[in-house]
Amino acid sequence: MSTISVRLNEKDDALIRKYAQMHNMDLSSFIRQAVIEKIEDEYDLALFNKVWEEEKEKERFSHETVKKELDL
């Protein structure tokens, strides 16, 4: 397992520690989760943008149109 050091000012340090404490998480787990979620969010957005570009010219149907077609 590796260690990463992060330099924070006192205000940011207090905020992060308090937030982790409020969510019953140790500091290391909270920071690890926050970083992983940030990476996943960026990946999801990049994937969405790629698919959007590939699909944007294709025909779309509203929910109402699909319901009528399926007699729902």
Over residues 16-60, the pLDDT tens digits come to 999 999 999 999 999 999 999 999 999 999 999 999 999 988 999
Region of 71 on the Ramachandran plot (φ > 0 left; ψ -120 to 50 alpha; else beta): left
pLDDT at 69: 93
Distance CA 37, CA 34 (A): 5
